[in-house]
Chains A and B, each alone.
Chain A
Amino acid sequence: MSGFLESLRCSECVDWGEKRNTIASVAAGVLFFTGWWIIIDAAVKYPQVEDFNHSYHACGVIATIAFLMINAVSNGQVRGDSYSEGCLGQTGARIWLFIGFMMAFGSLIASMWILFGGYVVKEKPVVYPGIAVFFQNAFIFFGGLVFKFGRTEDLWQ
C-alpha cells in the first residue's frame, strides 16, 4: 500500500518539455479572464446597489494589480542570479514581490469576507453576487500562481 502513488507521477508520463511555458501561460489566461467574466456576469445581472454593492469591485481590481505585481518580477531577480541589477536590485525585487503576494492573499480573504459578511450572514435574497466575487478572486489568484510558478525560466536562455 505504501508508496503506490509513486507510479502515478504525472510529470513523467506527460512530456512537458518545451511546451510547458506555453501551456502554463494559456492556463493562466483562461483562469484570469474567466474570473473577470464571472464578475461581469454578476454585474449585468444585478445592476442595483442593494443586490450588488459597486464597491465590491475594488476587490477584483486589487487582485488584478497583485497579479501584475507578482508577475512583473522574475524568479531569477528574486534569487539574485540575473545578469542586470535593475533599479533596486534584489532587495527591491523581494519587497515588490512581498507586497504583491500580500495584496493577492488580501484580496482573496476580502472576497471571502464579502461573501459571508455581506451576503450569507445578512441572509440576503440573492447570494449570487457574493459567490461571483469570491470565484472571481479565486480564479485571478490561482491564475497568478499558475503564471508565476507554472513557467520555468530555463527555457528563456
Chain B
Amino acid sequence: MAGVKALVALSFSGAIGLTFLMLGCALEYYGVYWPLFVLIFYFICPIPHFIAKRVGDDSDAASSACRELAYFFTTGIVVSAFGFPIILARVEAIKWGACGLVLAGNAVIFLTILGFFLVFGRGDDFSWEQW
C-alpha cells in the first residue's frame, strides 16, 4: 500500500506543477502559450536515464561512465527547462510574472519526477525493463 500512497502523492504534486504551468499560460492577463514548450523537456528528461540503464551493465559498481553521462544530459535538460521561459521573458514574448509561474511549475514537476524515480526506481516489482 505504501506504493499506492506514494503514487497518489506524486500525481497530486504533478498536477500542482502542471497547474502552475497552465496558470502562467492561460491567465487572461498573460494569455501567451509559448511556455507550453517546456512540456517537451518534461518528457525527454528521463530518457538519458533509461538509455544508461539499458546500455550499462548491471554490475554492482557504485557508478559508471555511462550513468554519469546520463546525469550530465539530464541536468542539461533540466537547466534548459529553466532557461527557456527566462529567455522568453527577456525578449518580452511573455511577461515576467508568467515566467515566474512557469519556473515554479518547473521546480514542482522536476521534484515530482525525481521523487518518482526515488520511490519506484529501485523497486523490483515495478521495473522499466518489462516494457
Query: Could you tell me which A residues sit within 8 Å of B by CB distance?
Result: 18, 21-22, 24-26, 28-30, 32-34, 37, 40-41, 44-45, 74, 147, 151, 155-157
Contacts and interface: CB of A to CB of B under 8 A. Distances in A.
* Size bracket of the B interface: 20 to 34
A63 to B, nearest CB: 15
A84 to B, nearest CB: 14
Interface string B104-122: 0000000000000000000
A33 B63 contact: no
10 contacts: A22-B71, A25-B75, A32-B72, A33-B75, A40-B83, A41-B86, A44-B91, A74-B65, A151-B68, A156-B64
Contacts of B54: none
A28 B79 CA distance: 11
Contacts of A151: 68
Contacts, number: 64
Interface in B88-131: 90-91
A33 B86 CA distance: 14
Given A34-B83, A41-B90, A22 B75 contact: no
